[in-house]
Homo-oligomer: A and B are copies of this chain.
Amino acid sequence: MQKKRVTIYDIAKALNVSASYISRALNDHASISEKAKEKIKKKAAELNYKHNALAANLRQGGSKLLGVIVPLINQRFFSDTISGIEEICSDKNYSLLICQSHENFAKEVHAVDTLIKQNVEGILISVSSETNSSEHLQNILTHDIQLIQFDRCLDELNSIKVENNNLEISYKVTKNIIESGYDKIAFLGGPNHLSTFKNRKDGFLKAIKEFNLPIPFNFIQEDLLVPENSYKVARELLLLKDPPNAFLTVSDHQSLAILRLANELQIDVPNDLAIFGFANEDFTTITNPFLSSVDQKSKELGRQAALAFFAKTNAERVRGEKIEPIIVESEIMVRQSSKKI
């Protein structure tokens, strides 16, 4: 006794009109009188009719679906970007298909595939730390699906990108650390093939150079997004004869690991060691001391990514020109962990 889905035909039959008439009425076509519309809508509600998006989308080509791929949904930074994306999409009556790559390239490729099959109209992605090839993203464009990269972007791919002013803010942060009285700054970066992290490193180097600080080469490390790895490397550095007195990380999760390490080693943060990170995660104001960080305006980042989709300004791509990235200005949040008392 399977209940069948109620269709416009059922309404049509009940009202003794044609199905196409119902369709138009339900879609508020101009050619139909208000009175008829009302009557039909009432009947539809009465029969508990629900629009079948599948059929409509098949017919119309579009799916009103957007795909989002992020490394981890439970990092506050990413869930905030998703909130921003959702805000715009629910305005436009688009739904979100959300996937996690779990920082794993294979899963990311699979997610892209799934989303293409689900007929999404656009894919908004912040790539995994492992992602060093853009073939799968290229594939998105091949299928005529909008591609918008945000936060973590592959430089080589000419797509719409929404990023922070990473180089500039990293430069400013480093300058701030130096001016706060720290002179031996170690940089714990991310995978350098992602422009996000490369830019943060370059900003750091720019400031170091400007202030003529002699930083040993092993103070500059890459690919340490996983907190445990940051912990290990930081530990080695802190046990050196001449250890760093400041850490600039590219994520608060690294900063947190270092704070834990400092506690274990009984190092006084901030007086003997400064810590500064990125993302402005919630926990930065729960730790003791509070962690200095860069507010990346994550929600706005998401909003801009979604808006970029709806703007559909990919005219550049068609013409083969380089698409200029959309920049979301970030903000320095100097807290206790980088200010000597």
Contact = CB atoms under 8 A, between A and B. Distances in A.
B142 A53 contact: no
Interface in A60-101: 63, 65, 73-74, 76, 79-80, 82-83, 86, 90, 95-100
B63 A74 contact: no
A146 to B, nearest CB: 13
Contact of A100 (B55, B83, B97, B114): B83
Query: How many A residues are at the interface, by size bracket?
Result: 35 or more
Given A95-B114, A118-B95, A63 B73 contact: no
A133 interface: no
A52 B119 contact: yes
Nearest to A287: B286
Contacts of A142: 3, 48
A54 interface: yes
Interface string A302-322: 000000000000000000000
A54 B48 contact: no
Interface string A279-303: 0001100111000000000000000
A53 B82 CA distance: 24
A86 B111 CA distance: 12
A287 B63 CA distance: 45
A117 B79 contact: no
Contacts of A286: 256, 283, 286-287
Which residue, A57, A74, A116, A119, has most C-beta atoms of chain B within 10 A? A74
A27 interface: no
A341 interface: no
A54 B50 contact: no
A93 to B, nearest CB: 8
Contacts of A80: 74
A143 B5 contact: yes
A134 interface: no
Contacts of A55: 58
Interface in A117-166: 117-119, 139, 142-144
16 contacts: A2-B144, A3-B144, A48-B142, A50-B113, A50-B143, A52-B117, A52-B119, A53-B117, A54-B58, A73-B73, A74-B82, A86-B100, A96-B99, A97-B97, A282-B283, A288-B288
Interface of A: 2-3, 5, 48, 50-55, 57-58, 63, 65, 73-74, 76, 79-80, 82-83, 86, 90, 95-100, 110, 113-114, 116-119, 139, 142-144, 256, 282-283, 286-288
What 10 A-B pairs come out closest when comparing CB atoms? A74-B79, A98-B98, A53-B117, A54-B58, A54-B119, A3-B144, A288-B288, A73-B79, A50-B116, A51-B117
